Amino acid sequence: MGNPLLISFIAAVFSLFYAGILASRVLSAPKGSDKMQSIAKAIQEGSSAFLTKQYKTVAIVAVFLAFAIAVSPLGINAAIAFVVGATASALAGVFGMLIAVRANVRVADAAHKGLSPAFELAFKGGAVTGFAVVGLALLSLVFISLLFGTEDLTPLIALGFGGSLISVFARLGGGIYTKAADVGADLVGKVEAGIPEDDPRNPAVIADNVGDNVGDDAGMAADLFETYVVTVVAAMLLITVANPALIFVPLLLGAVAAVASIAASFTVRISSFSKKMLSWLSGKDEAGSVMSALYIGLFSSAILASLGFLFVINDSGLRLSAFIGIGVTIAMVFITEYYTSKRFRPVKAIAQSSTSGHGTNIITGLAYGMEATTLPVLVIIGGTLAAFFAGGLVGVAIAVAAMLSLAGMIIAIDAFGPITDNAGGIAQMSDLPADVRNITDHLDAVGNTTKAVTKGYAIASAGLAALVLFVAYLEEFGEGEGLNFVLNNPYVLVGILAGAAVPYLFAAFAMRAVGKAAGAVVEEVRRQFREIPGIMEGTAKPDYARAVSIVTDAAIREMVVPALLPVVIPVAIWFLLGPEALGGALIGVIVTGLFVAISMTSGGAAWDNAKKYIEEGNLGGKGSEAHKAAITGDTVGDPYKDTAGPAINPVIKVMNVVALLLARFF
């Protein structure tokens, strides 16, 4: 197929160019009334303030690690690659978020014209993030490959480590922020004061809207950037051992899929075709038509990418492996939709349990969260074995690379969520007409589903990527004396137990951090209601900036220690117990991390949509006892699905990348 690095470079530039075109189209749309623009500006300022503080904190850690890598046997080349990875990951999140916080008000204004114009504008805003991530990931991989060559892949591993560092901080910090603001706003606003969501009288309402962007846009962008890069690097590592002639195939898969996703983006339209094709999955209402349009885009991307893979891969077994990777992606979408959509049994059962009280809502939600792990894990098992039988270890690597190649469209669908969520908030706070708010409500409902579905994809891809990284770690000891990696080795068993504890420890830190930060928000909202006369009557304006500042400081303060766990723990295990124990720890963190992440994200999303199901007028509707119980479930589920669960993804991968670097270090 010609020069693979040149082809990948062209695809990367094309993706970034297309993201720029979409951004200009979004920014050229009308911004609405002065009141709408004022609210949007507050969200923009809050988002920028948080990311600025977050990246200043991360920069300190990054500089220290870059220096440590430079003076270690890994060398200056690895340090440069580390900085490139961290910078590119940060840029992907920042660029996407800058557009998202400007698209929201334009989507709210476009809703005056109808559902289709608002939907198309929101998707374009999300696609900016998607194609920026893919373009920057491919570009950084090509740049490091050209700069340092591919004889020694250590710089590429360091590139992945740089992206991983940003990812864990972005996922965790953004998750703490978004859920602290959300929980704090709900506990005082909805429960104590009895005011609806996105009510301008709530002092935490702007912080809540800021959180949607820093968590679900910037956080997801950094997460999938890192997954994309480390998956390609791990695949290249395995292929180098098995068949060096195919080393650039993972890059070519990404390049082909990037172009396929750009072409598929033109199919994302609300049409009678999409409604007829996918109404069985998405429903026949307005929200269902929007979801169907997004799924048409995803499926079109998968089909076009699969056709492109035929020109990249000549071996029939490896072709089949690539198709298996695509199939795993589609299966994960369907499974997550089933467990988190209001149309299916799990969410309806949680809603029904709310009629019996708060306790039964929690019990049922936990039960379905646990159940939601089974089918995804079976799909991962089936996909891994099928890819292995089709193409061996290289086949597994190709399958995971093919799965990640759809990241552009997946991220576009995910970033659609915070844009529509913000658009609904702006419409509510600006007192736009009921028909406009009805449209933004439909888009917001779809956005909640897309965020859940893409989290399922992110977790599955993280698990499979970590498996490939683990095999690459073992391959590092393939020459010489090797590892005594057998289950009757006590160091391996101890390592498995130690690694298995990490996701639980990390999740505990994350949940506790949300609780502390939310407590600070609650106290501030109560203080403002108490000390600023006229807020509840609408005659006085709350101090939104104060609430934003409090939750920003709390999130930054609480994110540092847990974010460093996946870096420190593998180093400690290596030096205290040795490489066999660290290999066991990698298996342990993959297994429990996969289950904990799926359970938390699916369970949390199911709690959220059970509440929304009741708010639509079912089981007593808003204000009923069932609704109050569902709010409790949603409050518990919020940090589950948006903080701890998603942040486990980068934890799994960071530990594996650090292990790879240690294996090369010593």
Residue bearing the bigger pLDDT, 183 or 255: 255
How many domains does the chain fold into? 1
SS3 state of residue 31: coil
For residue 487, name the pLDDT band (cuts at 50, 70, 90). confident
Q: Which of 232, 271, 238, 253 is nearest to 116 (CA)?
A: 271
Instruction: Report d(CA 196, CA 547) in Å as an integer.
Output: 18
Domain around 331: 4-266+291-665
Q: Which of 260, 295, 250 is nearest to 399 (CA)?
A: 250
The whole-number average pLDDT for the span 299-322 is: 93
Q: What is the CA radius of gyration of the chain?
A: 23
Distance (Å) of CA 273 to CA 114, 118, 303, 446, 529: 19, 19, 17, 18, 50
Residue 284 located in a structural domain: no
Residue 296 located in a structural domain: yes
- The label of the residue with tokens 């200056």 reads 76
Instruction: Report d(CA 389, CA 317) in Å as an integer.
Output: 8
SS3 state of residue 372: coil
Residue 272 located in a structural domain: no
No. of helices (H) and no. of strands (E), the chain: 21, 0
Tally of residues, the chain = 666
Question: Taking 60 as the threshold, does the pLDDT of residue 613 lie above it?
Answer: yes
Residue 92 located in a structural domain: yes
Distance (Å) of CA 535 to CA 200, 204, 222, 520: 9, 12, 38, 20
Angle at 540 (CA atoms; ends 534, 545), nearest 5 degrees: 125
Residue 281 located in a structural domain: no
pLDDT tens, 640-659? 998 999 889 889 989 999 99
Kindly state the DSSP code that residue 196 receives in the 8-state scheme.
Answer: P
Q: Token pair of 602, please?
A: 């699916």
pLDDT tens, 337-351? 899 988 899 999 999
Instruction: Report d(CA 114, CA 505) in Å as an integer.
Output: 47
pTM of the predicted model, to two decimals? 0.91
Phi-psi category of residue 538: left, alpha or beta, with phi > 0 → left and psi -120 to 50 → alpha: left
Residue bearing the bigger pLDDT, 461 or 501: 501
Q: Token pair of 601, please?
A: 């994200």
pLDDT the model gives residue 308 = 94
Amino acid (one-letter) located at 474: L
pLDDT tens, 511-523? 999 989 888 888 9
Burial code (b: 16+ CB inside 10 Å, e: under 16) for 327-352 equals bbbbbbbebbbbbbbbbeebbbebbb
Residue 277 located in a structural domain: no
Residue 299 located in a structural domain: yes
Residue 48 located in a structural domain: yes
